[in-house]
Amino acid sequence: MMTLVVHEEDQMEMDSTEMWYIMTRKQQLQARRALLLGLQEFLKKNNFSEGNFNQKEDQGLCELAQIEKELQSLSEREGELRNGMSLQEKQSTVPEITEDSFATGQSPPEEELNSTTPAPEVVEVKDLSFSPATVHCPNCQQHVTTEIQRKVGKTSFLLCYLSALLGCVGGCCLLPFFLNYFKDTCHYCPSCHTEIQNVPRI
């Protein structure tokens, strides 16, 4: 069973690579065809009747026929690949029936089917940090992701006082009141809008 699945995946990858090659080659051929048609139109418009130009025109017609033939074969192969890919996609959406599920008559549990993203980890209120986290709100008893707000706290006042002592009295001592890095972090519940925890900077 495993080798069959691996073989199907390899086949789909080879088909998609071939499809990419076909589309690229078709673009090249269409550009070449447009160039040849433009050259023919130019030669006809300017009435070039010398032998050298007539030979070029004949070569262009021959090459145009080859391009048309190759474009047609590429379009047919593209159609075959598209039909094959759509069939493989339909088969891959059909749930796989194993001997165990057939014997028990049960399908895989929905938890396994829907377990694409893990549930966020719930943090204790006392362990909150400076960024939003998922907690159990003590007020409304719900699991919520907290909203944070920065507030001036003891750290801001302490740094302002130390800056003034060091001689930063020209307004620089007021910087801790404006920078979020030095402020305390208050966690709020987005459901009931109560303050859950205040996390001081120091």
Please give the residue that has the higher pLDDT: either 145 or 13.
145
CA–CA dist 15, 24 (Å, integer): 14
Position 76 pLDDT exceeds 70: yes
Q: Is the pTM of this model over 0.85?
A: no
The CA R_g of the chain, rounded to the nearest whole Å, is 36
N residues, the chain: 202
CA–CA dist 50, 36 (Å, integer): 18
Please give the residue that has the higher pLDDT: either 56 or 94.
56
Quote the mean pLDDT of the chain: 75
Position 93 pLDDT exceeds 60: no
Which burial class, exposed, middle or buried, applies to 108 when counting CB atoms under 10 A from its CB (0-12, 13-18, 19+)? exposed
| Beta-carbon contacts of residue 17 (< 8 Å; ≥ 6 apart) | none
Confidence of residue 172 (pLDDT cuts 50, 70, 90): confident
Q: Would you state the structure tokens that stand for residue 189, as one six-digit string?
A: 């519940």
| Beta-carbon contacts of residue 176 (< 8 Å; ≥ 6 apart) | 155, 156, 157, 159, 160, 163, 182
